[in-house]
Every structure is written in structure tokens, then in C-alpha cells.
Amino acid sequence: MDVTNKKSSPGVDVFDKANLVLMEEDGDNPDARKCGLGPCRPDSLQKFANIQSFIGIYSVVGVMTSLMTSYLGSQIPSIERQYGLKSSYSGVIMSFNDIGYFVFILFISSLAKYVHIPLILSAAFVLYGISGILCSVPHFISLASNSIQFVTSGPLNFDNNGSKPAMSSSQNIPLCDPFFNGSDITSGACMAENDGQASGIEMVNDGIRQTFLAFFGIGMMLQGVGKSLRGPFVTVYVDDNGKRSRTGFYMGVIVALAICGPVLGYIFGGMLSRVYVTLEDVDMSPRDPRWVGAWWMGFLVFGACSIIFSLPLVLFPRNLKKQPALKIEGKARSEMSRKEKIKEGALSYWRIVKNPVYMAQMVSTTLDMGGRAGYYAFLSKYIHTQFSIPLWQANITLAFANISSVALGSFFGGLISRRVKLTPCKTLGILVAFHAVNMILFAGGLLLGCDQPEIIGPNSKYSDKLPSVNYSTICSSNCGCKEDDFFPICGSNGVNFHSPCYAGCESPLGKGGNFVNCTCIPDGRASAGLCEADCGMLYPFAVLSFAAGFILALSISPSIIAKIRCVEDRDKSTSIGLSSFFSSLLGFLPSPIIFGKVVDSTCLIWQKSCQSEGACLLYDNVDFRLKIHLIPLIYMFAGMCCLSFAFYKVRSLKKWSSEETEEYEAVLYLAENEKADKNDSNSTGTEKTPNAQDMKI
């Protein structure tokens, strides 16, 4: 039987320089496909030598690593507040992750067919763990240098008559008293920084901030390097060692479980946001503008867990089943020189670039990620600001409304891939439809938000409406209040004030979380932080976000299938790597920086110290809501146009080219069996007829 002259599908030269031959990557040694380490491969481990066990263990480790990425997003407001960072700086920090990613992804992805994938994946997860531990180091440096903000372990100092509290180094609260009018706060902060002391509500010094940026930058880059090894390698390992008809289902399970990581990340982020940064039992609520959560604890714990949980992956073999290997120009992979492997890698990229269906999908993915990466990076901050809720509550809302929907959608998307025969036309049609519905639901976020909170202060620039009474002149005209002293409080009457001074508050209770003797408030009592918004839009926004995320996630498995099936079988790892490279370089990398700048452009009041600006203290809600939704919609629309082009190109195709390759492998396998049986019959005088079971590969 001549099987080398098979024609490939139109537009794809599947067998132009390659012939499939049946051989084993690890030779004829069956022990090479057993679980274990080196010569130690006990029988008790062999029940795990299957693709289902690999997926289960990989998914557990994947949860730990994907958890850390989302956890950073949940802690951005706390980190910005402690280190006096603008959102544009936060965007740069998150982009360091993708710098490490795209530097390695192109080189790494083409090596999947030459390396021991489980071993490499284990090393990647160890790198993830190290990166998490590095990100927690700045906290301990801050502790050692006594530069953590808002430490309130010490009591307030009072003068001899016990009625007037003296300003302590950690309690720069602008009260209604000439002695506490805030006139010296800025200069005091500069003196405090020079003395190496904490500076109340002001920023930390530049040295601590630069140390934080350095450690976080290195940690996030290492995380990106580890991430570059995951996508292409695990896709190839699953596709090579399981039934190809189930690849979409398996990848859906992996993605769904991996997305449980972000869910847990935001849940734990919410829990740790309720714990003060120094782990002290402080007399402040999370609504207090001075509050900083224990952001560092998650990086330390999750980093250590990633290292521990990565170890079982080392025990999986390079291949779980006998592999049909690719023979290139008459030479098997194992026989190729390094130069020939590099040449074949370059040819692989060239074959992919000439594929219009793949390129359209890649551009679509890049645009889509460019719009979504920055949006999700600051979504926790957006919910926290837009609906005036504590950060911990924003993180919990995000976990259940946005991230859990993606996990469910990914799982059901995998089921769709398993139950439905995804032809080229059907696959791309599903992707276009899902993206269109997601865009419509996402656009609903433009309408679901709260108005700008009304704040009584030096002027009316924060709100279009103010109460009829001029509080500034009647209640606090003799308090010596200053506009720069922004310390929002909520009166017991539900009215927000620019600071305790503008509410006429003369005394704090405890350590400054509550205030009494406020002449502008009927019962004279107030608490730190803005009043909770009562616009009723939080739950509708959460429901709409859940629906949009679920619809989008349904397309994840079909999208993976489309990318690895529209190219030649030997190029599938390269196709994932190339798409990941451009998604990172042009999508994930610039998106947080762009969105950070956009978020900063909506700021009304900045944290200031010694003529420099730090974190934003108050945002324009309407401007924030419009910008953070309109920009992703522009990206999404452009991406959907590219998907529509890919759908147009495959509208008449009935099969993927890789499916024809799989059928060809079955023919080769049958031919090999027929040849072997014929040799056996010549020696024994009998002939065996091949059955359907023999054709399974």
C-alpha cells in the first residue's frame, strides 16, 4: 500500500516535506512510558500513568499559579495606597509579567516536541513560586525600615488637660482646631520622611517605593517566564497523549479549573483585604481612607504552595502512549542535529504565517486580549470606587460575578467541543456568535453605575448637587480647613465631608476611625471613609458581568481547537506559542499600562507630598465608568471583524487538515500491522485479518 502520495487539503501542504512514520520517541523501552523518577518506577504509581491523572494534578498546580496573577489585581488599591503609586505605575508592574512571557514564548513554544514536558512544567511552577515569594519581600523591607504607612499601634497623644490630642507621627488627621488645621502636614511629612518615620496619610519616601518596584518587577518577570512554558506545552501533551476527539473537552476542564484560581485569588484577596497590613488589631474599619490590607501575605503563602504542589508533575513520563513521530526529510526528530531543529522551527513559523485562517484568529485574539487585560486588571478598583464599597467586598463580588462565570463557561464550552463535531465552518461560526453576544452584554456596563458622591468641601467640583446649606461657612468657617487635606468621612446623617475639619469635628474617638463633636452633623458623629453608595446598581452589574463572562468563556475551547486544527499537525505547539507571543506583546503587555493611564485621567484629587503626586484619592465616577467600558468595546469590535474574516475563509471546508493527518496515521498503522502480520503468517503458515481495534491509535 502506497501511503506517501496522499494529497493534503487545499491551501495546506501537510506532507510537502514530511512523512509520518510509526516510531517511539523513547525507543522500544516500555518503562519510558511509566510514572516514576529515573530507574525508580514502582507499580503503585502506574495507575496514574494516564492523561486523566495528568490533567487532574496539573490543574491543581495550575490553580495555585493562576491564583497569584488575579491576587495581584485584587490588591492593587492597597499597594497603591501604601506605596503612593499612580495606576499607571500599577499597570507597568503588571506588564512586567508579560515582558518575561513574550521574551521566552517564541523560543520555548517550538521546543515542545523535543523536551520532557512534565519536567519542564514542574520547573515552571517552581519559578512561579519563587516569583510570589519575591513579591512579598518589599513588605519585610518596609517593616525593617519602619516605613509602613498608617501604623496605629501606639495611642494618640493628648495634652495635659486631656482635651486636645497632639499630632502623632501616624495620625495626621485634619480636625477642626487651629492647632490641627493641616497647615504643616506637607512639610511635616517631608520631615518625617527624612527622619525615616511613617508619615500619616502621606506617601512613603522614594527609596522604599523604588525598592518595591524593583522586587515586584523581578518577581513579575519570573512569573512571566514560568507562564510562557505552560500554554503550548500542556496543549501539546494533552493532544498527543489522549484521544484527539477529546482534546477540546480536556482543555476545557483544564481552563475551567485554572480559572478557579482567579476565583480563589479574589476570595482570598477579599479576606486578606480585611486584615491590616501589619497584622495589628487596629481601631479602623476597611472603609477608612488610611486602611491598607495584608497584601503581602497572599504572595508568600501561594508562592510556597506552588513550589510544593509542583513536585508530583516530575513523576510523569515524557510520553504516556506510543507516539507517531514526524520524520522530516527522511530523518526522525531524535536523529536531527541542533541546526536542523532550528531550521525546522523557522520553517514551522513560516508555514503558520502563510495561513490566513490562523492569522485572522491570532489578530482577533490579540485585539480581544488588548481590550480585556487592562479592564480586568483594574476591575477590582473600579467596583471598589464606582459603588463605594470596601475593597474586600469588591473582591468577593468580582470573584463570584466575573471569574466564576468564566470557569463555568470554560467547562461547558469543553462539553460542547466534546459533544458537537466542530467542523471549520461550525467552529468559527460559534466563535463569532459568542463574541457578538458578549459585546452586547458588556456594553450594558455603560449604563450600570452610581453617580458621583456628593462631598461637602471647599467647592462643588466633586458633584453637580450640594445641599442648600453652605456648610463651609456656617459650620467650619473658623476651623482653618485646607483644601489639600483630603480625608473623607461619612456623617451619621449620610452626608460625605471632604475632611473632619469641614464637618467641624473637634475630636477623634479611639485611634481616629470615628469622630465626635462634629458641629455640621446633627448628632455630631462621623466615621472615616465615604458613605456607602445606595444607587442599587451593584447587583444588576454583577448579574450582567456574570452573563457576559459565561458567554465569552464558552468560546475558549472552540478557540483552542480552531488554532491547533487549522495548521499542520507538526505546527500545533508553534501555533499556540505564536498566538501567545503576539497576545502578550501587543495585548497583555501594553493594555494594563494604557488602562492605568486612562484610570489616572479620571482622578479628581491626588495624594501629595513634597510637591510630588502619589495615589489617587478620589475619582470621577461617570468618567471612570465610560472610559473603562468604551475602550474594551473598540478592541472587541475590531477582533470580531477578524473572526468574521476567518469564518468567511472556512465557510466551505468540511474537515480540518489535521483530521486528514489523523486518518492518514491510522492508514499507516494499519499498513504496519498488515506487514507485521504477513511476516508472521510466512513463518507460521497463518494469516491474521486486521480488525477495527487494530486501527485505534
Residue, of 213 and 242, whose pLDDT is higher: 213
Asked if the model's pLDDT at residue 593 lies above 50, the reply is yes
Q: Give the chain's largest Cα–Cα span.
A: 115
User: Considering its fold, how many domains does the chain have in total?
Assistant: 3
pLDDT at 440: 93
Contacts 24+ apart (CB under 8 A), 27-36: 32/317, 32/318, 32/319, 33/317, 33/319, 33/320, 33/321, 33/322, 34/317, 35/315, 35/316, 35/317, 36/315, 36/317
The x, y and z cell numbers of residue 157, run together, are 497623644
Contact by Cβ (8 Å): 103, 295 = no
- C-alpha distances out from residue 119 to 90, 124, 232, 337, 604, Å: 33, 9, 14, 22, 51
Which residues are CB-neighbours of 19 under 8 A, at least 6 positions away? 4, 327, 330
Instruction: Identify whether residues 563 and 524 lie together within a single domain.
Output: no
Q: Which residue has the higher pLDDT, 70 or 434?
A: 434
- 417 and 554 share one domain: yes
- Say yes or no: 64 and 110 in one domain: yes
206, 85 in Cβ contact below 8 A?
no
Q: In degrees rounded to 5, what are phi and psi of residue 418? A: -80, -40
Cα separation of 68 and 296, whole Å?
Answer: 11
β-bridge pairing 496-497 and 455-456: parallel
Residue 558, domain extent: 355-449+538-667
624: cell is 471612570
- The alpha carbon of residue 184 and the mean position of all alpha carbons in its chain are separated, in whole angstroms, by 42
Q: Please indicate whether residue 293 or residue 422 has the higher confidence score (pLDDT).
A: 293
**96 and 121 housed in the same domain:** yes
Q: Is residue 580 part of a domain?
A: yes
Q: Specify if 481 maps to a domain.
A: yes
β-sheet bridge partners, residue 608: 613
Same domain, 430 and 509: no
* Position 504 pLDDT exceeds 90: no
Residue 138: the pLDDT is 86
Which of residues 477, 500, 528 is at a domain's end?
Answer: 528
- Asked whether residue 597 is assigned to any structural domain, the reply reads yes
* 215 and 72 co-located in one domain: yes
Examine residue 380 and state whether it is found in any structural domain, yes or no. yes
Binning pLDDT at 50, 70 and 90, where does residue 694 land? very low
Residue 511 — very low, low, confident or very high, per pLDDT cuts 50/70/90? low
Return the percentage of the chain with pLDDT > 90, whole number. 7
Which residues share a beta bridge with 515? 508, 526
pLDDT of residue 16: 39
pLDDT value of position 217 = 85
Q: Does 159 fall in a domain?
A: no
Task: Say yes or no to pLDDT of 466 above 70.
Answer: no
pLDDT band at 113, cuts 50/70/90? low
What is the arithmetic mean of pLDDT over 124-141?
87
Residues 441 and 476 in one domain: no
459: pLDDT confidence band, cut at 50, 70 and 90?
low
Pick the range with the lowest mean pLDDT from 34-43, 163-172, 346-355, 678-687: 163-172
Mean pLDDT, the chain, integer: 73
Exposure class string for 553-569: b at 16+ Cβ within 10 A, else e: bbbbbbbbbbbbbbbbb
Query: Percent of the chain having pLDDT more than 70?
Result: 70
Identify the CATH number of the domain in which residue 212 sits: 1.20.1250.20
What 3-state class would DSSP assign to 36?
coil
Q: What is the spatial distance between Cα 317 and Cα 14, in angstroms, rounded to a whole number?
A: 29
Supply 670's cell numbers.
494499519
Of 553, 512, 507, nearest in space to 529 by CA: 512
pLDDT of 541 = 92
The residue ranking higher by pLDDT, 675 or 182, is: 675
Assigned C-alpha cell, 597: 493611564
**Which band of pLDDT confidence, cut at 50, 70 and 90, is reported for residue 629?**
very high
Q: At what angle do helices 51-83 and 295-309 cross, to 10 degrees?
A: 160
pLDDT of residue 10: 39
**Residue 626 pLDDT grade (very low, low, confident, very high; cuts 50, 70, 90):** very high
Clarify whether residues 440 and 303 are in a common domain.
Answer: no
- Looking at per-residue pLDDT, the higher value among 301 and 179 belongs to 301
Mean pLDDT computed over 149-163? 37
Stated pTM of the model: 0.72
C-alpha cell at 137: 519581600
d(CA 488, CA 498): 5
The phi, psi pair for 510, rounded to 5°, reads 60, -120
In a domain, 301, yes or no: yes
Residues 590 and 517 in one domain: no
Q: Is the pLDDT of residue 270 over 80?
A: yes
How many helices (H) and strands (E) are present in the chain, helices listed first?
21, 13
Where does 7-151 have alpha helices with state H? 51-83, 87-109, 117-144
* Mean pLDDT of the 566-570 span: 74
H or E segment at 30? none
Pick 540 or 427 by higher pLDDT: 540
Residue type at 191 in one-letter notation: M
Residue 382 resides in a domain: yes
- Does the structure show a pLDDT above 80 at 394? yes
Helix axes 51-83, 247-272, angle to 10 degrees: 30
First-to-final CA distance of the chain: 19
Residues 6+ apart with CB under 8 A from 514: 508, 525, 526, 527, 528
Which one of 43-52, 85-94, 319-328, 374-383 scores highest in mean pLDDT? 374-383
Regarding whether 487 and 403 lie in a shared domain, the answer is: no
Band (633; pLDDT cuts 50, 70, 90) = very high
Of residues 563 and 439, the one with the higher pLDDT is 439
Identity of the residue numbered 604: L
The H-assigned helical ranges of 115-246 are: 117-144, 185-194, 206-228, 230-241
Q: Decide if pLDDT at 630 tops 60.
A: yes
User: What is the spatial distance between Cα 490 and Cα 514, in angstroms, rounded to a whole number?
Assistant: 9
CA R_g for the chain: 30
Give me the pLDDT at residue 382, please. 92
Copy the grid coordinates of residue 396.
468577593
Please report the pLDDT score of residue 412 as a whole number: 82
Q: Is residue 300 part of a domain?
A: yes
Does residue 215 carry a pLDDT above 60? yes
Higher pLDDT: 526 or 563? It is: 526
pLDDT of 193 reads 44
The CA distances from residue 69 to 94, 257, 390, 521, 578, in Å, are 9, 15, 21, 44, 22
Instruction: Identify the pLDDT of residue 476.
Output: 66
Q: For residues 510-515, give the mean pLDDT.
A: 68
Which range among 254-263, 312-321, 369-378, 504-513 shows the weakest confidence by mean pLDDT?
504-513
**DSSP H or E segment with residue 679:** helix 657-684
Picking from 437, 438, 81, the residue whose alpha carbon sits closest to that of residue 293 is 81
For residues 424 and 361, which has the higher predicted lDDT (pLDDT)? 361
Sign for the CA dihedral angle at 643, 646, 652, 658 comes to negative
Shared domain check, 575 and 627:
yes
**DSSP annotation of 42:** -
Q: What is the mean pLDDT of residues 60-73?
A: 80
- Model confidence at 686, pLDDT cuts 50, 70, 90, reads very low
Burial class (CB in 10 A: 0-12, 13-18, 19+), 519: middle
Torsion of CA 54, 252, 374, 579, to 10 degrees: 80
Same domain, 517 and 557: no
